[in-house]
Amino acid sequence: MKSLTACFDRLSGPLLAALGLANALFVLSFFVILLVAAQTLPAASQEDCRGDNLLVEMRDEDPAAYKRLMDEADATVNGDTLLFKVEKEGVEPSYLFGTMHLTDERVVDLPDKAQDAFDEARAVAIESVEILDPAKAQLALFSKPELTMFTDGKGLSDYLDDGQRAVLKKGLAERGVQLALVEKMKPWLITAMIALPKCEMDRKKEGEPFLDMKLAQDAERNGKELVGLETIVEQFEAMASLPMEFHVRGLVDSIELGDRIDDVIETMIELYADGRTGAVWPMLRSVTPEEGEDAGYAEFEAAMVHVRNETMLERARPLFDAGGAFVAVGALHLPGDKGLAALIDKAGYTVTPVHE
Q: Is 86 exposed, middle or buried (0-12, 13-18, 19+ CB in 10 A)?
A: buried
The residues near 57 (Cβ < 8 Å, ≥ 6 apart) are 1, 4, 7
**Residue 191's pLDDT is what?**
81
**Residue 288's pLDDT is what?**
53
| Nearest alpha-carbon partner for 209 in 92, 124, 285, 101 | 101
Contact (CB, 8 A) for 263 and 53:
yes
**Residue 287's pLDDT is what?**
64
- 3-class secondary structure, 276: coil
CB atoms within 10 A of CB 49: 17
**Residue 272's pLDDT is what?**
94
pLDDT in 10s for each residue of the chain, 356 residues: 343 333 333 333 344 444 444 444 444 444 433 343 444 444 444 445 778 999 999 999 999 999 999 999 999 999 999 999 999 999 999 999 999 988 889 999 999 999 999 999 999 999 999 888 877 877 888 899 998 899 999 999 999 999 999 999 999 998 888 899 999 999 888 887 777 777 877 787 777 888 999 999 999 999 999 999 999 889 888 888 888 988 888 888 778 877 777 888 889 899 999 999 999 888 877 765 444 445 566 777 788 888 999 999 999 999 999 999 999 999 989 999 999 999 999 999 999 999 98
The residues near 20 (Cβ < 8 Å, ≥ 6 apart) are 188, 191, 239, 242, 247, 250, 300, 304
